[in-house]
Amino acid sequence: MKKLLCVCAAALLFTVSGCSDATTSVTDGSTALITVGNTKITKENVYTGLKTQGAVNSIINMVTQIICDNEIPLTDEIKAEAQSTMDSFKGYVGEENWDAFIKGNGYASEEDYFNQRVVLAARAGHITEKYLEEDWSNVISVYKPRQVQIFTTDDEEVANKALEAIKGGKEVAEVVEEMGGITENYNGSTQTLSSESGLPTNVWGNITKVTENNTVLDEVQYSLDLTTYYVVKVIATNPEDFKETAIKGLASSTTLQNEGFAYYLKKYNFNIYDIDIYNAFKTQAPQYLVQ
């Protein structure tokens, strides 16, 4: 019942027309939906509560459902992902607490929770990948994914020795092991990176200048504060050659997740007509104001 009231109220937020400073309301707002003793909770109380308490998250969840229904088919693979997620979370919550958790979150049963919450989350996890597929040419133009192998160290002398060894034909991973490279982010294996991956802009700029595969950058690269030194081998320069891997890697970027969601908001003409809701989005989720 709680979800039904939220859905009905939220539907009004998207359908009321008028000027940019409009404030929406419900008809028969004084009608009681709930009574406690002599106190009434009216339609208007519920609607106002939705607008002022968690409206942004509620609306995003509902819009996510719409996007998924149109863009992300419910496959056996996604169902399996959802089941695995729920099994893990159930273990974390504890079998003895599970029913209380389900009901405490407003679901009548585990099946309702699975279908309405867990499956939706699993489907939503594929929105970014779908966006990257759909807008691929623009994405690779902006984010320039590349496959690279990197040795890093905080010692310039060690970096120069590593560069000589790699230019001489040694594998980057082998040099990392032999010379004790910093492996927190880069261990010499082939990685798919982009402009969103966190490399210093000067280093990334030099990587994207390379046009031939399996090219070792001629000089040791360095962070602007000279605390980290990089030896870089560019393995692949054309994202079309590693598209599937690139999409998997790019999909973990928060920037691209937000960009992908906003892409589908535009595609489905997401508009907010209530000034209070608009201002809430402006404060809490401005990246989704696409109207």
Please write the tens of the pLDDT for every residue from 44-71.
776 676 666 667 888 888 889 999 999 9
In a domain? residue 182: yes
The pLDDT confidence band at residue 291, using thresholds 50, 70 and 90, is confident
Q: Percentage of the chain with pLDDT > 90?
A: 69
Q: How many Cα atoms within 13 Å fall on the side-chain side of residue 110?
A: 11
The radius of gyration of the chain from alpha carbons, rounded to an integer in Å, stands at 26
Does 123 share its domain with 188?
Answer: no
Question: Residue 264 class from Cβ within 10 Å (0-12 exposed, 13-18 middle, 19+ buried)?
Answer: buried
Q: How many domains is the chain built from?
A: 2
Domain containing 185 — which CATH number?
A: 3.10.50.40
274: pLDDT strictly greater than 90: no
Please write the tens of the pLDDT for every residue from 4-35.
333 333 433 443 333 456 666 667 778 776 55
pLDDT at residue number 1: 36
Does 234 share its domain with 260?
Answer: no
Average pLDDT over residues 167-183: 94
Average pLDDT over residues 260-281: 89
Could you list the residue range(s) of the whole structural domain that residue 162 is in? Answer: 145-240
**CA 193 to CA 150: how far, in whole Å?**
11
Q: Where are the beta strands (DSSP E) in the chain?
A: 32-36, 39-42, 146-153, 191-193, 215-216, 221-222, 229-236
Say what the pTM is: 0.78
pLDDT at residue number 67: 94
Nearest to 229 by CA among 165, 186, 167, 270: 186
146: left (phi over 0), alpha (psi -120 to 50) or beta: beta
- 92 vs 17, residue with greater confidence: 92
Q: Percentage of the chain with pLDDT > 70?
A: 85
